[in-house]
Amino acid sequence: MYPVAWAVVDKETKDTWSWFLRCISHDLELEENGGEDLIVMSDMQKGLHLALTNSLPNAEHRWCATHIWANRKQVWSDLLKYNKEAWCRAFFKEHRRCDAVENNMCETFNSWILAARFKKIITILEEIRCKVMERMNQMRDFSEKGITDVSPMAMKVLVENDEYAANYEVRFNGDMGFEIGDPLYTYVVNVKRKQCSCRSWQLKGILFAYAIAAMHYKGWNVKSFVDHWYQRETYLKAYDKYIQPMTNINMWPRSTIPPIEPPKITPMPGMPGKNRKKAKDEAVKKKFGKATRNRRRMTCSVCKCIGHNKKGCPTLKKDFSSSCGS
């Protein structure tokens, strides 16, 4: 997770997203190419798609597959209503070296700043700034202490894929082409183009087991074929800028501009919810306390028989009828 920019707005609308994207485009100098090398991952926020189309028309917009699946898994055919190029890896473009299909990084950032989100606006922004400043320093120290030229995440993927590489049969064409055979399929690896017919190498930029098998066959260094996005040099370049320290709010100069009034609160229909809505098949956390009567066999406290309680006990009713008749 590498936070680039954040903002606080009154609502998620096309106008607020357009404003935010214009600021991002200006600061990152994306206006000329329209975000050609950019991937935007979202969970279908309101107004974002239209704002993105206008501000960054060349960016690849992906939708979180987890959110799509949670919303439409009851009826499988509903998944086909969504643009398959936005959530299915089989239709992703290859040159951006990213195969992500979920919005976990955004969820991680939201949970990371959870405590700050319940405070006043200035305090929110100041706490986020301090957290990001400290994290960037920690990540910079972490990268400088690395023992390899490949990022830890990429190394983990390589080690996992390397375990499967020994199981494949390799055929070399004498140039830069390889046939990698497993029990069911045969894949083609082109080392010069950094391509594999399984498309994993192109999508992620990290060698899959088939390409690793070809490297082992020729005795080549696998790490040298990892894309530059995962190299230590690129990692350090991302953290070579610093967030400068600031004094606290009591020492800030007073502005002559009139204070900004808070936005009007729009009441939402119905009672405000307290808990997150869960999917039907999501595990429910058990609560300790009084047990429920669900699927319990009743035992009468009077006659000790199973199948009814004291209220419906025939013995008690018989005794009551006898006492009334006397």
Most confident of 22-31, 136-145, 147-156, 268-277: 22-31
Q: Which amino acid is at 167?
A: N
Q: Is 169 helix (H, G, I), strand (E, B) or coil?
A: strand
How confident is the model over 132-170, as pLDDT tens digits? 999 999 988 887 776 678 888 889 999 999 999 988 999
What pLDDT is attached to residue 74?
A: 59
Nearest to 184 by CA among 205, 148, 210: 210
Least confident of 27-36, 145-154, 256-265, 292-301: 292-301
pTM above threshold 0.75: no
Locate all alpha helices (DSSP H) within 28-120, ordered by sequence: 48-55, 65-72, 104-112
C-alpha 248/C-alpha 32 separation (Å) is 38
- The rounded mean pLDDT for the chain is 84
pLDDT (mean) for 219-243: 89
What pLDDT is attached to residue 180?
A: 95
Chain centre to alpha carbon of residue 172: 39
Question: Does the structure show a pLDDT above 60 at 296?
Answer: yes
Locate all alpha helices (DSSP H) within the chain, ordered by sequence: 14-27, 48-55, 65-72, 104-112, 121-144, 152-165, 200-204, 209-218, 232-238, 314-325
C-alpha 226/C-alpha 205 separation (Å) is 6
What pLDDT is attached to residue 67?
A: 80
Q: Is 178 helix (H, G, I), strand (E, B) or coil?
A: strand
C-alpha 46/C-alpha 56 separation (Å) is 17
